[in-house]
Amino acid sequence: MVTATPVKTEYEAIIGLETHCQLNTHSKIFCNCSTKFDSPPNTNVCPICLGYPGVLPVLNLEVLASAVKMGLAINGKIASYSKFDRKQYFYPDLPKNYQISQYDLPIVEQGSLEIEVVDKETKEVTRKTIGITRLHMEEDAGKLVHAGSDRLAGSTYSLVDFNRTGVPLLEIVSEPDLRSGQEAAEYAQELRRLVRYLGISDGNMQEGSLRCDVNISVRPKGQKKFGTKVEIKNMNSFSAIQKAIEYEIERQIEAIENGEPIRLETRLWEEGKQRTVTMRLKEGASDYRYFPEPDLPPIEVSQEQIETWKAQIPELPAQKRTRYETELGLSAYDARVLTDEREVAEYFETAVATGANAKLVANWVTQDIAAYLNNNKLNIGEIALKSEGLGELVNLIEEGTISGKIAKDILPELLTDGGSPKTLVEKKGLIQISDTGELEKIIDEVIASHPKELEKYRSGKKNLKGFFVGQVLKKTGGRADPKLTNQLLDKKLEA
């Protein structure tokens, strides 16, 4: 009797992200209070952001500018007519009992973002476009210190700090185009790159200036109908986004396979236990009773104004990556590493502008300099070696003035003390010996003082060539031109 092997169902995850990005304006969205993070509690507050009776909000123009710039950066459609709305809900961190947000006429719609997913093994890069449904402006809520925190252990009340109330936010809602934890984390990172390049936010997840909520469901591959959606909150790093999604995909598939229903709910990511846990069940859609904000007039952004703001947008990461690959011949991986931070990309470009070889500059920035920055927890702007200096160093290697080894030896000093690599090389007497006559003389001396090794080499032990190269480098203090040394040794050892 033949028994059929049950076919294993393949599933796919459908993922969308809602991202809140805190803008780095000096003042809040509707009042003149400071937005400074970590100020003493309730010091950055006024009657407007505390929602006292009779006050009127006024829109901060810089918030609108940031929203439009971000809208352009995500290839979105900027609304010619937009308005604010009141989103009503009751919570102690919301002093007015409504949040000023945007509902049916957001400032930006129909955007997209290209992400690059890197294969960890092969380092191969694949590109994918993620749709962005909308981007809108809104105000942040205050911060609750909950019972159970160190400060409130065993207490029966909570404390509110309203400093964050009214800090401007952009909410960016993606289409459900993401299919894995890695894609979602990459999408969030690309958003972070954009806001940092635009200079509108520091995108710091740990401090809460970039917050992501994930909506996720799974369904058998090929099925058109979406599964039941679960929302996940409380992820404060890109790796947490990836891990929370991977965990949730497994959890939902397991539930379906066991015939258990997926509940419409909000879950929290527990970093310590690396799992998601139920926070609350969703009983139907929330009724926020949105209506137009009567205290704020509508916004009409002219084409002329859009062009002015567009002109202030720098070359963005995706454009840089393409240019580095096509014009400078860099690998997709190197282009990606170099463009991750705007400061690093600018450092790299200034070094290349000195006439230095782009691939060599890329190697120095992504390897030796990156390692130094990492080990010393520094930004590229904090090292003493200026980008022009790196260009000069690479040119010295290219011209044959110094070897790569000497460059590596002097790099630590350049990184801490700065200055001109050329001057340092001259001062230390490290200029490479590239004179054939001078090198031949040194090689002859080395061969003459190692007759046994020469005999072994000539009787077939060809790997001893490395020994002779080492001896020449030792004798010259590493200054012998490696290429020329190899050529001359080949000739002399075989003679």
Partner 1 sequence: MIDTEQVKKIAHLARLEITPEQEEQFTGQLSSILEYFDQLSELDTTDVPPTTRAIEIKNITRSDSMQPYPSREELLKEAPEQEGDFFKVPQILNTDEE
State the residues that interact with partner 1 by CB under 8 A. Answer: 25-27, 32-34, 40-47, 50, 52, 58-64, 83, 87-94, 99, 141, 144-147, 155-162, 233-234, 268, 279-280, 287, 289, 292, 294, 296-300
Q: Nearest distance from residue 99's CB to partner 1, in Å?
A: 7
Q: What is the dihedral of CA 149, 150, 154, 158, to 10 degrees?
A: -50
Long-range pairs of 121-126 with CB within 8 A, sequence gap ≥ 24: 123/333, 124/332, 125/332, 125/333, 125/336
- Shorter beta-carbon distance to partner 1: residue 25 or 432: 25
Give the residue from 116, 51, 46 showing the smallest Cα distance to 322: 116
Rg of the chain's alpha carbons, rounded to an integer? 30
Q: Nearest distance from residue 426's CB to partner 1, in Å?
A: 50
Cα(461)–Cα(459) distance, integer angstroms: 6
Q: Nearest distance from residue 298's CB to partner 1, in Å?
A: 5
Q: Nearest distance from residue 73's CB to partner 1, in Å?
A: 20
Q: Pull the structure tokens for residue 379.
A: 């930004």
Cα(435)–Cα(419) distance, integer angstroms: 27
Give the residue from 293, 268, 287 showing the smallest Cα distance to 279: 268
Cα(392)–Cα(353) distance, integer angstroms: 10
- Shorter beta-carbon distance to partner 1: residue 150 or 327: 150
Q: Nearest distance from residue 136's CB to partner 1, in Å?
A: 14
Q: Pull the structure tokens for residue 101.
A: 């947000």
- Shorter beta-carbon distance to partner 1: residue 57 or 76: 57
- Shorter beta-carbon distance to partner 1: residue 7 or 61: 61
In 377-403, where does DSSP find H-type helix? 387-398
Cα(145)–Cα(40) distance, integer angstroms: 13
- Alpha carbons within 13 angstroms on the beta-carbon side of residue 284 total 2
Q: Nearest distance from residue 13's CB to partner 1, in Å?
A: 25
CA 57 → CA 61, 131, 346, distances in Å? 12, 33, 39
Q: Nearest distance from residue 292's CB to partner 1, in Å?
A: 4
- Shorter beta-carbon distance to partner 1: residue 141 or 338: 141
Helix axes 465-475 and 451-458, enclosed angle (nearest 10): 150
- Shorter beta-carbon distance to partner 1: residue 260 or 295: 295
CA–chain centroid gap for 308, Å, is 27
- Shorter beta-carbon distance to partner 1: residue 94 or 210: 94
- Shorter beta-carbon distance to partner 1: residue 89 or 226: 89
Q: Give 292's strand partners.
A: 85
- Shorter beta-carbon distance to partner 1: residue 47 or 477: 47
Q: Nearest distance from residue 92's CB to partner 1, in Å?
A: 4
Question: Is the Cβ–Cβ distance between 396 and 389 less than 8 Å?
Answer: no
Q: Nearest distance from residue 327's CB to partner 1, in Å?
A: 37
Q: Find the helix or strand (DSSP H, E) in which 97 lies.
A: none
Q: Nearest distance from residue 65's CB to partner 1, in Å?
A: 9
Q: Which residues contact 142 (CB under 8 A, 6 or more apart)?
A: 92, 93, 94, 95, 160, 161, 162, 163, 164, 165
Q: Nearest distance from residue 355's CB to partner 1, in Å?
A: 41
- Shorter beta-carbon distance to partner 1: residue 233 or 323: 233
> Which residue do the tokens 């102690």 mark?
92
- Shorter beta-carbon distance to partner 1: residue 83 or 196: 83
